[in-house]
Amino acid sequence: MKVRGFEVAKGFENKGINMPKRKTKHSAGYDVEAAEDVIIPAFRPGMKPTLVKTGLKAYCPDDEYYMLLNRSSNPGKRGLVLANSVGIIDADYYGNEDNDGHFMYAYYNFFDHDVEIKKGDVIGQVIFNKYLTVDNDDADGVRKGGFGSTDKES
């Protein structure tokens, strides 16, 4: 029986995607690698963040979510910060009709030069968590798509 874990997202089969791993027995986060080479340009006002593909999707129970977090060394060594500080991925993102649940990291580069990420570089980490609801919660919406779809009208 599957409870929580990672799978290769559609379109990334046979592309040598490695499953995230914890490096020590007390690590909270699973280290995630880049699925392909990408250049993250030096920041300029008004630019959009660069999406770094992972080639992965993750599944978890309905009362859980997972967080996409930066590596602690990325800001100092690579000038990279996550555009949204912490990415929150809901359980129903898995297998969605838009992108199969493929999760990506949205980075800005605050160095004065472009930064190259190579396929297989560890780019971030994932931590799974439970969430709580309030007594009068009445959420009944159903996800209709992928990235950014929870604020779209059904």
What SS3 string covers the chain?
CCCCEEEECCCCCCCCCCCCECCCCCCCCEEEECCCCEEECECCCCCCCEEEEEEEEEECCCCEEEEEEECCCHHHHHCEEECCCCEEEEHHHCCCCCCCCCEEEEEEECCCCCEEECCCCEEEEEEEEECCCCCCCCCCCCCCCCCCHHHCCC
pLDDT at 148 over 70: no
| Span 7-32, pLDDT tens digits | 999 999 999 999 999 999 999 999 99
pLDDT at 145 over 90: no
pTM of this structure: 0.89
127 occurs within a structural domain: yes
- Containing domain of residue 98, as a range? 5-132
141 occurs within a structural domain: no
87 occurs within a structural domain: yes
Total domains present in the chain: 1
101 occurs within a structural domain: yes
| Average confidence score pLDDT of the chain | 93
Which of the four pLDDT bands, split at 50, 70 and 90, describes residue 146? Answer: low
Q: What is the pLDDT of residue 154?
A: 46
152 occurs within a structural domain: no
110 occurs within a structural domain: yes
18 occurs within a structural domain: yes
| Span 105-139, pLDDT tens digits | 999 999 999 999 999 999 999 999 999 999 999 98
CATH number for the domain including 127? Answer: 2.70.40.10
144 occurs within a structural domain: no
